[in-house]
Chains A and B, each alone.
Chain A
Amino acid sequence: MPNRVVNILVPVISVILGLLVGAVVMLASGYDPVAGYAALWNGIFGDSYTIGETIRTITPYLLSGLAVAFAFRTGLFNIGVEGQLLVGWFAAAYVGIAFDLPMYIHLPLAIIAAAVAGGLWAFIPGLLKAKLQVHEVIVTIMMNYIALHTTNVLIRMVANGKETTAPIKETASLKSAFFESMTDFSRLHYGIFIALAMVLVMWFILEKTTTGFELKAVGFNKHASEYAGMNVNKNIILSMVISGAFAGLAGAMEALGTFQYASVKGGFTGIGFDGIAVALLGANTPLGVVFGAVLFGALKFGALNMPNAADIPVEIVSIVIALIIFFVACGYIIRYFLEKLNKKKEAK
């Protein structure tokens, strides 16, 4: 079996295994898996409204997946997407509320603010990794909590002590009257075009530029890259900043598209952590991230229909997603079995 096919088969098998184990869990807990998955299906594709909301859910997943995947390509594990998303969310909402500008300046400004905020938040772990060889996983986890507390304080300040800010100005909104009329007033917004454009941007940076080549080289082998004259430290920081910028944009999608405000949070959104799942499933390639985001975004939104339609807790989908990551992580054993299967066939 060619390597390419195996690379595609591993995530596909993982998804199937994840769904199967999910069905077993439902069966063992006394629920009807067929009714459960039917409710999930209807929750995703039921009518134009659910389709709109599904795409709306996919939008930030695309960006958080890109963020994780981009850092992975340089050999960095950015668990801090969640925190970068939160600061991006706040930055976009703040610009959206505080300024009065014509739309063609205001909207791009709010979006760029989110990307810059996310990038800056990721700059710190990048710098520490490059200069002091501090493991980025620990720093980004800690930065998540700092982001949560910091944005909560800032949001209270902007909202004059209240828990939720005023809505953003219309000139900074990604709201789409056209999509609303098409999807029975779902919250689907123009952000999906930005997310898809970023998929192209990531592909372009990685495949068509010298910078991208260097970033990937550092990911493959730091020492070889250094020997070849590349500035490893600069590339590590750059990779984290670009990754953080993607994460910040995911926050902008929530601030300018879905919610149109920022609010104090008791915990994390989970979009950043699910980005890890998206990136892993997509093998850290731009196109793979699209598939990963579509699958997980759809699963997450569709699951909301499961308690009503089949009386099954929504968490079943989180179990399935966690299992899928687990199986992808155990790719070695799936590859091993595929190879064995292949050898048997060749022997015949």
Chain B
Amino acid sequence: MSFLEVLYFIIPSAIFYAAPLIFTAIGGVFSERSGVVNIGLEGLMVMGAFIGIVFNLTFVGTFGAMTPWVSIIAAMIVSGIFAIMHAVATISFRADQTISGVAINMLGVAIALFSVKMIYGKGQTDYIQERFIRFDIPFLSDIPVLGPMLFKDVYSTSILAFIVAIGAWFVIYKTPFGLRLRAVGEHPMAADTMGVNVTKMRYIAVILSGMLAGVGGAVYAQSISAEFSHSTINGQGFMALAAMIFGKWHPLGALGAALFFGFAQALSIVGGQIPIINQVPSYYLHILPYVLTILAVAGFIGKAHAPKASGVPYIKGKR
């Protein structure tokens, strides 16, 4: 296998594995930028994957080839509603954000598995019939070198992930809404004094993060696993959280980090077919993203700063 062929092989798989992480990590960026730590991304992703698969299995007769897309929307809505729980606890009830997130994670898995057993009478669902399929982008895929690397055999969900990431960058950095969002996360009292509704901004951000994590979960389930069981979402939410931190709480940084983690994941899965890489024990590839994240937060890759008010409930009138 030549070097170019290796790239043709590994880069599409990296993007493929990165897409769900990108959605979820962008969700994390919204939440943390508003000052709410969301460790519950994992549970929200589980919810998204579960709803995506169940909706897909149930309505495949109605929507036909469009089913995966409709399922994503369903997952987005349900996960968004689920995230309200986290929002109410952390914003209105001043709960510890990390602990509430842990509860969301446990609850997401428990509800999903409980429902799967209730609906299907077994621990995992059947395989879905309609899933996301690859296609070649016309014209662009004919470009030499770049074409086969980036535009051949792509998933439309991967394209959507890039659009969402760039859109999030625009919203957070180029719109009044984004300015308020960041202000609320850095110094809520100052924002409040300027007439920004801190509570409302935080609610919107947490619900947005739930919706995006739901999309991430549904994309993962409908393009990678094609079924739902206890091990469908197994740490991807935490990986997305890591990607967000690795990306320094910036949408495009998170996009880059997610792509990198996707690359590491792709290496550990398809690496056996690539010369040189197949000499490296898969163990090192498995732990690579986690070790890198620790190094990243330890500041070896430039000091990253979390939004200042992240993790602190805002209590009006308290200094």
Using CB atoms and an 8 Å cutoff, list the residues of chain A in contact with chain B: 25, 29-30, 77, 79, 128, 132, 134-135, 137-139, 141-143, 145-146, 149-150, 153, 266-267, 273, 276-277, 280, 313, 315-316, 318-319, 321-323, 325-326, 328-333
Contact = CB atoms under 8 A, between A and B. Distances in A.
A146 B283 CA distance: 9
Contacts of A79: 102
A153 B100 contact: no
B153 interface: no
Contact of B114 (A30, A143, A145, A313): A313
B166 interface: no
A139 B118 contact: no
Contacts of B283: 149-150, 153
Given A313-B118, A325-B103, A329-B103, A145 B287 contact: yes
A329 B89 contact: yes
B89 A326 contact: yes
A146 B287 contact: yes
A276 B99 CA distance: 8
Contacts of A149: 283, 286-287
B42 to A, nearest CB: 10
Interface string B85-101: 10001001111101110
A142 B294 contact: yes
Contact of B245 (A138, A276, A326): A138
Given A321-B106, A326-B100, A329-B100, A138 B299 contact: no
Given A329-B100, A330-B95, A313 B117 contact: yes
A341 B191 CA distance: 34
Contacts of B82: none
6 contacts: A29-B115, A29-B118, A139-B294, A153-B281, A326-B103, A330-B100
Contacts of B99: 276, 280, 325, 328-329
A197 B12 CA distance: 55
B107 A319 contact: yes
Contacts of A280: 99
Nearest to A321: B106
B212 to A, nearest CB: 20
A329 B40 CA distance: 14
Contact of A137 (B39, B85, B89, B231): B39
Given A132-B298, A137-B98, 9 more contacts: A135-B306, A150-B287, A267-B234, A315-B113, A319-B114, A323-B107, A326-B95, A326-B103, A326-B107
Contacts of A313: 113-114, 117-118
A120 to B, nearest CB: 15
Contacts of B287: 145-146, 149-150
B242 interface: yes
Given A134-B298, A145-B235, A276-B102, A319 B93 contact: no
A128 B298 contact: yes
Q: Tell me whether chain A's interface is mostly helix, strand or loop, or mixed.
A: helix
Query: Which 9 pairs of residues, A with B, have the shortest CB-CB distance?
Result: A318-B110, A322-B106, A313-B117, A322-B107, A315-B114, A329-B95, A326-B103, A142-B290, A330-B93
Contacts of A329: 89, 95-96, 99-100, 103
Contacts of B102: 79, 273, 276, 325
A93 B14 CA distance: 38
B117 A333 contact: no
B297 interface: yes
A172 to B, nearest CB: 27
Given A138-B297, A150-B287, A319-B114, A330 B89 contact: yes
A321 B230 CA distance: 18
A314 B102 CA distance: 20
B291 interface: yes
Contacts of A30: 118
Contacts of A77: 98
A321 B109 CA distance: 12
B293 interface: yes
Contacts of B293: 138, 142
B238 interface: yes
Nearest to B113: A315
B140 interface: no
B100 A315 contact: no
B270 interface: no
A298 to B, nearest CB: 17
Interface string B214-243: 000000000000000011001100100110
Contacts of B290: 142-143, 145-146
A336 to B, nearest CB: 9
Given A266-B231, A313-B118, A318-B109, A333 B93 contact: yes
A75 to B, nearest CB: 12
B280 interface: no
Nearest to A336: B93
A32 to B, nearest CB: 13
Contacts of A138: 241-242, 245, 293-294, 297
B245 to A, nearest CB: 6
Nearest to B268: A149
A330 B306 CA distance: 24
Interface string B297-311: 111000000100000
B111 interface: yes
Contacts of A135: 297, 306
